[in-house]
Amino acid sequence: MIFTLAAKELRALFSSPLAWVVLAFLQVTMAWILVTRLDAYLTVQTQLMQMDTPPGVTEIIVAPIFGAAAVILIMAVPLLSMRLIAEERRNQTMTFLISAPLSMTQIVLGKFVGLYSFLMLSVVLILVMASSMYLGGRLDLGLLGTLSLGLALLIAAFAAVGVFFSSLTAQPVVAATATLATLLGLWLLNMSQASPDSPFLMLALIRRYESFTKGLMDTGDIIFLLVFTAVFLILAIRRLDSDRLGG
Amino acid sequence: MNAPDQNQTVRATDLTRQFGERVAVDKVSFELHRGEVLGFLGPNGAGKTTTMQMLTGNLAPSAGQVEICGIDMLDRPTDAKARIGYLPETPPLYRDLTVNEFLQLAGRLHRVPKKELATAVESAKQRCGIGDVGQRLIGALSKGYQQRVGIAQAIIHNPDVVILDEPTVGLDPNQIRDIRALIRELGGAHSVILSTHILPEVEQVCNRVQIIHKGKLVFADSLGGVKAFRGRSLMLGLRNAPPIEAIAAVPGVAQVELARGGMFRVQPAPDTDPTDALVQAAWDGKWNLFQLAPAVSSIEDVFVQLTHREEHA
């Protein structure tokens, strides 16, 4: 059931030009970063050779791509997630889903899985692009693995926030704005001058992601991102339930 | 749970729904059996749609219980919903899907097995007369076709209970006839709840009628019961009619009103039969009596009487 719904969401995404525009934009930006980083790498290559443990191609070229992808997705996710529930409300098609033998959990998870599979497609595209480095060298597969895992978890957190805000309103634009504001806010937390162990920084999503870009797999970060995702999904489910109860 | 009646498809018990202070539906109870087509009537804002939303699990009742084929809507909502087909007031259609895609989605979400999906889509299209638009986008269809796609999604999984909220709105007269025939046909094996403002429609397709007014169920009977409603009132035809007060003054008459065609509708006082007194009064007053018969009510009479009266009270 969840996958039937997810397939429907994917189809809806691909039948709208928005999804293609976002994918294309993401890809062009990633390619641009790849080229500039490659250029920079080639100019400093001789100096790197003299170091005892020189950073590899993956660290210098691929990791920044993943870092940039996270920032771009902060802007892309709200655009893709805004319609999920808000538009069903506005077009009064929510009744169709609620009247069907689906639980609210299945509806929310279906929507989430649909959006998430789409976003994971962009991760796959980045990986394909990164593997072009094999043309002239070798990649650090371990680092590539943590980068992908980190981005996958981060995207799940972003998507969950998007689904939640979409469940709050019948106006997709409001949902997009709220999602963007929240994601940007969580990102900006990272830039504050608070002391490193301030509880505020706990919530800085990018900081959680940073360890992955260094090749670290911190269970704390993994659990944090998973819990973050689950909390927003549960809030969305509760919200849909309260639609039925309240009024 | 007591042994459920095999033929009972819907049971609503003391269904109540409040929106803040306002009571939209107040202790509505009814039952529905297989093969029955229930006409659900009421003025705008009477609570029809709210009741239907509660029956279909779109809205949780403030109090009361809904059972679909013996399955409690609150305890096992998904199992109960699987037995319902619902067409809300605004047909829930995805405008950027084709009719076939949409019906396939509806079938799969309603647990139609994969092997039977194609057949189910075909037969739903056939029954609703949309066989020739399967490849078209729903957003590009006319209102009438969209309405019929809405009905098709409600019957695709062959549900025990079909709930239709004003299904013939926006259809042309031929389509209305087709849809009414379809509803009658559905009534054979399923239960149908039909909400509508078109009273002749109820007379044509329903075998039971229910009227809701200000959240309360004010009338529930079979179509035969409608005719006998106010069965004790009399239609009085006079060629030389006196002022209405004179008729009201006849012993045993509680109320007189002018009805269609210059006739008078006479409501007897409880436990009295004013027939003899009326004949006598007509003779004495030279009112030239030409007709005195028990009144036969139409749904319209019942509807107007039950929902109009209280507004003036």
For residue A196, the model assigns a pLDDT of 66
Residue B200 resides in a domain: yes
B290 band by pLDDT with thresholds 50, 70 and 90: confident
Q: Encode pLDDT of B2-52 as tens digits.
A: 455 678 889 999 999 988 888 899 999 999 988 899 999 888 888 888 999
Asked if the Cβ–Cβ distance from B105 to A8 is below 8 Å, we say: yes
Chain A environment of B86 (Cβ under 8 Å): 95, 99
Q: Mark whether B209 and B102 lie in a shared domain.
A: yes
Torsion sign over Cα B129, B135, B136, B138:
positive
Which of B196, B207, B127, B138 is CA-nearest to residue B168?
B196
Chain B environment of A4 (Cβ under 8 Å): 105, 108-109
Asked if the Cβ–Cβ distance from A101 to B82 is below 8 Å, we say: yes
B228 band by pLDDT with thresholds 50, 70 and 90: low
Q: Mark whether B55 and B110 lie in a shared domain.
A: yes
Q: How large is the average pLDDT for residues B64-68?
A: 92
- Nearest CB among B59, B78, B81 relative to A244 is that of B59
- Nearest CB among A4, A99, A244 relative to B86 is that of A99
For residue A160, the model assigns a pLDDT of 97
Integer Cα distance of B247 and B244 in angstroms: 5
Q: Which residues, other chains included, contact A190 with Cβ-Cβ below 8 Å and sequence gap of 6+? A: A201, A204, A206, A207
Q: Mark whether B223 and B243 lie in a shared domain.
A: no
Asked if the Cβ–Cβ distance from A4 to B105 is below 8 Å, we say: yes
The per-residue DSSP string of chain A comes to: -HHHHHHHHHHHHHTSHHHHHHHHHHHHHHHHHHHHHHHHHHHHHHHHHTSSS---HIIIIIHHHHHHHHHHHHHHHHHHHTHHHHHHHHTT-HHHHHHSS--HHHHHHHHHHHHHHHHHHHHHHHHHHHGGGGGTS---HHHHHHHHHHHHHHHHHHHHHHHHHHHH-S-HHHHHHHHHHHHHHHHHGGGS-S-TT-HHHHT-HHHHHHHHHTT---HHHHHHHHHHHHHHHHHHHHHHHHHHH--
Residue B3 resides in a domain: no
Task: Say whether residue B21 is in contact with chain A using an 8 A CB cutoff.
Answer: no
Asked if the Cβ–Cβ distance from A93 to B93 is below 8 Å, we say: yes
Q: Mark whether B153 and B267 lie in a shared domain.
A: no
Tokens representing A163? 């689904």
ipTM, two decimals, is 0.85
Asked if the Cβ–Cβ distance from B106 to A100 is below 8 Å, we say: yes
The per-residue DSSP string of B230-292 comes to: TTT-EEEEESS---HHHHHTSTTEEEEEE-GGG-EEEEEPTT---HHHHHHHHHHTT--EEEE
Strand B191-195, strand B37-41: pairing: parallel
The H-or-E segment that residue B199 falls in is: helix B199-205
Contacts 24+ apart (CB under 8 A), B61-64: B61/B15, B61/B16, B61/B17, B61/B25, B62/B16, B62/B17, B62/B18, B63/B14, B63/B15, B63/B16, B64/B12, B64/B13, B64/B14, B64/B15, B64/B16, B64/B27, B64/B28, B64/B29
B1 band by pLDDT with thresholds 50, 70 and 90: very low
For residue B124, the model assigns a pLDDT of 92
Which of B128, B180, B185, B177 is CA-nearest to residue B152?
B128
Integer Cα distance of B74 and A204 in angstroms: 40
Lowest mean pLDDT of A26-30, A75-79, B29-33, B43-47, name the range.
Answer: B43-47
Which of A30, A101, A94 is CA-nearest to residue A68?
A30
Q: Mark whether B188 and B258 lie in a shared domain.
A: no
Calculate what percentage of chain A has a pLDDT beyond 70: 95
Chain A environment of B81 (Cβ under 8 Å): 99-102
Residue B2 resides in a domain: no
Asked if the Cβ–Cβ distance from B95 to A91 is below 8 Å, we say: yes
Of A143 and A205, the structure prediction assigns the larger pLDDT to A143
Residue B42 resides in a domain: yes
The answer to whether residues B15 and B59 touch, using CB atoms and an 8 Å cutoff, is: no
The H-or-E segment that residue B196 falls in is: none
pLDDT of residue B96 exceeding 80: yes
Task: Say whether residue A6 is in contact with chain B using an 8 A CB cutoff.
Answer: no
CA B196 vs CA B135, B180, B232: distances in Å: 31, 12, 28
For residue A97, the model assigns a pLDDT of 93
Last residue of a domain, one of B227, B250, B285: B227
CA angle B277, B283, B285 (to 5 degrees): 95
The answer to whether residues B47 and B20 touch, using CB atoms and an 8 Å cutoff, is: no
Chain B environment of A96 (Cβ under 8 Å): 92-93, 106, 153
Last residue of a domain, one of B227, B249, B283: B227
Torsion sign over Cα A209, A210, A211, A217:
positive
Q: Count how many residues are written for chain A.
A: 247
Query: Which amino acid, A215?
Result: G
Domain residues for the domain of B40 are 8-227
Integer Cα distance of B160 and B162 in angstroms: 7
Q: Mark whether B191 and B283 lie in a shared domain.
A: no
Q: Mark whether B215 and B289 lie in a shared domain.
A: no
- Nearest CB among B58, B86, B97 relative to A244 is that of B58
Last residue of a domain, one of B227, B248, B271: B227
Which of B26, B8, B7 is CA-nearest to residue B17?
B26
Q: Mark whether B144 and B275 lie in a shared domain.
A: no
For residue B312, the model assigns a pLDDT of 47
Asked if the Cβ–Cβ distance from B78 to A103 is below 8 Å, we say: yes
The answer to whether residues B292 and B235 touch, using CB atoms and an 8 Å cutoff, is: yes
Residue B310 resides in a domain: no
For residue A96, the model assigns a pLDDT of 93
Integer Cα distance of A201 and A206 in angstroms: 10
Query: Which amino acid, B287?
Result: W
For residue A134, the model assigns a pLDDT of 82
Integer Cα distance of B140 and A17 in angstroms: 19
CATH number of the domain residue B57 falls in: 3.40.50.300
Of A192 and A44, the structure prediction assigns the larger pLDDT to A44
Residue B74 resides in a domain: yes
The H-or-E segment that residue B37 falls in is: strand B37-41
Domain residues for the domain of A202 are 2-245
- Nearest CB among B88, B96, B108 relative to A12 is that of B96
- Nearest CB among B79, B93, B96 relative to A101 is that of B79
Q: How large is the average pLDDT for residues B284-311?
A: 76
Q: Mark whether B201 and B249 lie in a shared domain.
A: no
Q: Mark whether B130 and B271 lie in a shared domain.
A: no
Domain count, chain A: 1
pLDDT of residue A14 exceeding 60: yes
pLDDT of residue A132 exceeding 70: yes
Domain count, chain B: 2
The torsion angles phi and psi of A96, rounded to 5 degrees, stand at -60, -45
Q: How many CB atoms lie under 10 A from the CB of residue B207?
A: 16
Task: Note which residues in 115-154 of chain B have CB less than 8 A from chain A.
Answer: 153
Q: How large is the average pLDDT for residues B149-163?
A: 92
Radius of gyration of chain A (CA): 20
Q: How large is the average pLDDT for residues A222-240?
A: 95
Q: How many CB atoms lie under 10 A from the CB of residue B284?
A: 8
Q: How large is the average pLDDT for residues A125-141?
A: 84
Integer Cα distance of B108 and B7 in angstroms: 26
Residue B309 resides in a domain: no
Residue of A nearest to B108 (CA): A4
CATH number of the domain residue B288 falls in: 3.30.70.100
